[in-house]
């Protein structure tokens, strides 16, 4: 199953690969070069297919828990001052996605979208300390009656040049459902209440829509 954001790119890549293979077969007579080029084209197609994959996840809905919004590795767990929406201290948990991770963004909690904003910006590497404030990004806040408000931020990186955010203010959200996509690697930050219990550790790998990041 592939994400809808990749359908056009997958089709274009498939046509390009097929035409290129036909041209290689027709015009290149050197066997080793022909095989090398065809293998390279096949690898390109496989990379594009794996990047836009959208596997089903077994999300167990729980209003007392915050689930990982994306696949990747936990790279930040710290108390910070969140100044865009809350203007108060929060616990930040950041998940870094490599190019080989699934890049679907999923809602970390069920509830209502009370804030959604896109910010143009730079393309610093995703682990840069200023990436959360200076890179292209989207900020979304979801609120439910049990957990309160949770902010998540999609952040572009040096390779990620296209952030897709489906969340709109007043939308009803379902925990673990599709809320967007980041093309070609980056990270997502979560900002949680100070009294939340963090259930992950630094460098731990998590799965979007399944791994528990925090709970009340």
- 51: pLDDT confidence band, cut at 50, 70 and 90? confident
**3-state class (DSSP) for residue 63:** coil
**Does residue 127 carry a pLDDT above 70?**
no
Q: How confident is the model at residue 118 (pLDDT cuts 50, 70, 90)?
A: very high
Average pLDDT value for residue range 55-84: 94
Q: b or e along 135-171 (b: 16 or more beta carbons within 10 Å of the residue's beta carbon)? A: bbbbbbbbbbeebebbbbbbbbbbebeebbbbbeeeb
Closest by alpha carbon to 95, among 183, 204, 180, 176? 204
pLDDT tens profile 160-174: 557 899 999 999 999
pLDDT of residue 2: 84
**The pLDDT of residue 152 is above 70:** yes
Residue percentage of the chain with pLDDT more than 90: 68
The mean of the pLDDT values for the chain is: 90
Predicted confidence (pLDDT) at residue 70 exceeds the cutoff of 70: yes
| Rounded Cα gap, residues 44 and 14, in angstroms | 10
Give the closest residue to 188 by CA, choosing from 214, 156, 211.
Answer: 156
Question: Of these residues, 116, 132, 179, 186, which one is catalytic?
Answer: 186
pLDDT at 27: 87
First-to-last alpha carbon distance for the chain, in angstroms, is: 34
Structure confidence at residue 161 (pLDDT): 57
pLDDT of 159 over the 80 cut: no
Residue range 54-75: mean pLDDT, rounded: 94
Give the pLDDT score at 207: 96
Residue 132 has pLDDT above 70, yes or no: no
pLDDT of residue 136: 83
Report the pLDDT value the prediction gives residue 125, as an integer from 0 to 100: 62
Is 186 a residue of the active site? Answer: yes
Map tokens 């690898």 to a residue: 43
């Amino acid at each position: 199953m592939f994400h809808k954001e990749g359908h056009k790119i997958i089709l274009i890549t498939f046509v390009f690969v097929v035409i290129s293979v036909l041209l290689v077969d027709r015009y290149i007579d050197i066997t080793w070069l022909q095989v090398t080029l065809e293998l390279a084209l096949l690898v390109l197609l496989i990379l594009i297919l794996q990047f836009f994959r959208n596997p089903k996840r077994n999300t167990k809905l729980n209003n007392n828990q915050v689930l990982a919004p994306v696949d990747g590795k936990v790279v930040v767990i710290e108390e910070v001052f969140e100044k865009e929406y809350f203007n108060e201290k929060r616990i930040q948990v950041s998940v870094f996605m490599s190019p080989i991770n699934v890049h679907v963004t999923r809602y970390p909690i069920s509830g209502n979208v009370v804030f959604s904003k896109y910010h143009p910006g730079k393309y610093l590497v995703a682990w840069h300390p200023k990436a959360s404030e200076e890179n292209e990004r989207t900020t979304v806040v979801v609120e439910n009656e049990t957990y309160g408000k949770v902010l998540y931020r999609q952040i572009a990186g040096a390779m990620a040049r296209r952030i897709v955010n489906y969340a709109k203010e007043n939308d009803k959200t379902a925990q673990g459902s599709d809320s967007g996509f980041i093309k070609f690697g980056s990270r997502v930050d979560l900002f949680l209440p100070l009294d939340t219990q963090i259930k992950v550790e630094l460098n731990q790998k998590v799965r979007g829509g399944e791994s528990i990041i925090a709970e009340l």
